[in-house]
Amino acid sequence: MKKLLAGAAMALMALGGNAAQAQDYPDRPIMMMVSYGAGGATDFQARIVTMTAGNEDALGMPIAIINKPGAGGRVGWNWFATQAESDGYTLAAYNIPHFIAQSIKGGVEYSADTFEPIANWGADPAVFVVAADSEMTSMEDAVAYAKENPGKLTFSGAGLFVGHHIAALQLEKAAGVKMAYIPTKGGGAAAMKAVIAGEVMAGVNNLSDAFRAQEAGNVKILGVFDLERNEFLPDVPTMKEQGLDIDNASVNFRGVMVPKGTPQEVIDKLSATVPEMFANERVAKKMKAGGSPMHIMTREEVQEMWAARQATLEELLAGL
């Protein structure tokens, strides 16, 4: 039904041209593009954080989610950068560092300059996991193994130029070792399966998914690729605590953005309302129940974060 509504909204958009009046924005349902498949973590969280959009104190109009999955998010973001209407009725979810890393690597139509951030809703750090029966119990063990067996420690992650890959690169750089990063097809779930089934010795995965897998007794989490410990895993030390100089560049930030060229009044209205909408109590409850860490940031904070990521990633990916 939501898809139909959004379809109708798009048809209206095409008919009415760009004549939307900024002062009564929004006067019809809004569409939000998610560049990953239905059921994935980004899709799941996007649906929760936008579920109160129709409330009077939020936007007063519902937000419909449209999935355009493919090629690690490139399909959806390419579409958003080149074909989406910039009238404020087409939003998209962003994943940092994915889209910035992909734009640095090249071959896509977008970069941090083609999008305007609105607000951030979540931050899912990468974590280092091993199977529950693994002999490694800390990052020290893993690094020691990698030093003794250069290039032999196999560890999985969800593809190249995504958060997991960035974390893997940071780990190799900070520990000064060579390891074998195995990118999987099929996202974090496939990477996690490789760890649990013993196909690889370790893995980088999302904190939210790893938290669930640890609860189920399938994996051990050895370290968090973030600046601080996470509320879901208060006992797991960060990489820095374990002597590895790694910052939060790989943390998967998720939030809302619009295409460049969207009227300033619309951006102002959205960036004032959307963080409030994310802060809704019902949203927080659902997110916590699903094991998804929230991290609300305003437009200014996100702009800073994007710029910082751009600089870090350019340095890290140089020469790859």
Partner 1 sequence: MEFIYYFGDVFAPVSFLLLLVGTIGGLILGATPGLSPTMAVALLIPFTFHLEAVQGLILLGAAYTSTVAGGAVSAILLKIPGAPANIATTLDGHTMAKKGEGARALQLSFLASAVGGVFGVLLLIFLTPLLAQWALAFGPSHLFWLAILGVTIIGSLDSASVVKGLLSGCIGLWLATIGFDDIMGAQRFIFHSSLGGGINIIAALIGLFAIPQVLTMFAKGRRNDNIEVIEVKKHAIMDAVRELLSRKRAMAIGTAVGSIIGLIPGVGGQIAGLVAYDQTKKFSPEREKFGTGHSEGVIAAESANNAMVGPSLVPLLTLSIPGSPTAAVLLGGLLIHGIFPGTDLFDNHPDVAWTFINSMLIGQILMCIFGLYVAGLAAKVAQVPQSVMAAVVLGLSVFGAYSVQSSMGDVYVMASLGVMMFFLERFGFSAAPLVLGLILGPIAEANFIQGSMIANATDGMGTYFLSGALNIVLIAIVIASIAYSVVMELKQNKAQNEEASA
Nearer to partner 1, 126 or 192 (CB): 192
Question: Binding marks (x or -) toward partner 1, 162..191, rule CB under 8 A?
Answer: ------------------x-xxxxx--xx-
Looking at 1, 14, 15, 318, which residue binds partner 1 (CB under 8 A)? 1
**314 near partner 1, judged by CB under 8 A:** no
| Closer residue to partner 1, CB minimum distance, 102 or 248 | 102
> How far is the C-alpha of 91 from the C-alpha of 259, rounded, in Å?
8
CB of residue 237 to partner 1, shortest distance in Å: 23
Residue 66 Cβ vs partner 1, minimum distance, rounded to whole Å: 5
Select 114 or 248, whichever has its Cβ closest to partner 1: 114
Token pair of 50, please? 């936008």
Determine whether 82 is exposed, middle or buried from the number of CB atoms within 10 Å of its CB (0-12, 13-18, 19+). exposed
What gap in Å lies between CA 134 and CA 200, rounded to an integer?
11
- Binding to partner 1 in span 210-269, by CB under 8 A: 212-213, 215-218
Specify which residues 67 forms β-bridges with.
34
Cα dihedral 88→94→100→103 (10° resolution): -60
State the minimum distance, in angstroms, from the CB of residue 97 to partner 1: 14
CB of 74 to partner 1, least distance (A): 6
Size of the site for partner 1 (CB under 8 A): 64
Candidates 8, 11, 12, 197; binder of partner 1 (CB under 8 A) is: 197
Nearer to partner 1, 43 or 226 (CB): 43
Taking CB under 8 A as the binding criterion, the range among 21-29, 147-155, 223-231, 265-273 that sits at the site for partner 1 is 147-155
**Alpha-carbon dihedral sign for residues 92, 189, 212, 130:** negative
Give the amino acid at 305.
Answer: M
CA distance 13 to 28: 10
Name, in order, each residue with C-beta under 8 angstroms of 95's C-beta and a sequence gap of 6 or more. Answer: 35, 36, 42, 73, 162, 163, 252, 253, 254
Of 58-97, binders to partner 1 (CB under 8 A) are 66-72, 74-75, 78-79, 82
**For the chain, where are the alpha helices, taking DSSP H only?**
2-16, 41-49, 74-82, 98-105, 139-148, 163-175, 187-196, 207-215, 264-278, 281-289, 299-317
Residues that bind partner 1 (CB under 8 A): 1-3, 6-7, 37-40, 43-44, 47-48, 51, 66-72, 74-75, 78-79, 82, 102, 105, 107, 151-154, 159-161, 180, 182-186, 189-190, 192-194, 196-200, 209, 212-213, 215-218, 286, 288-291
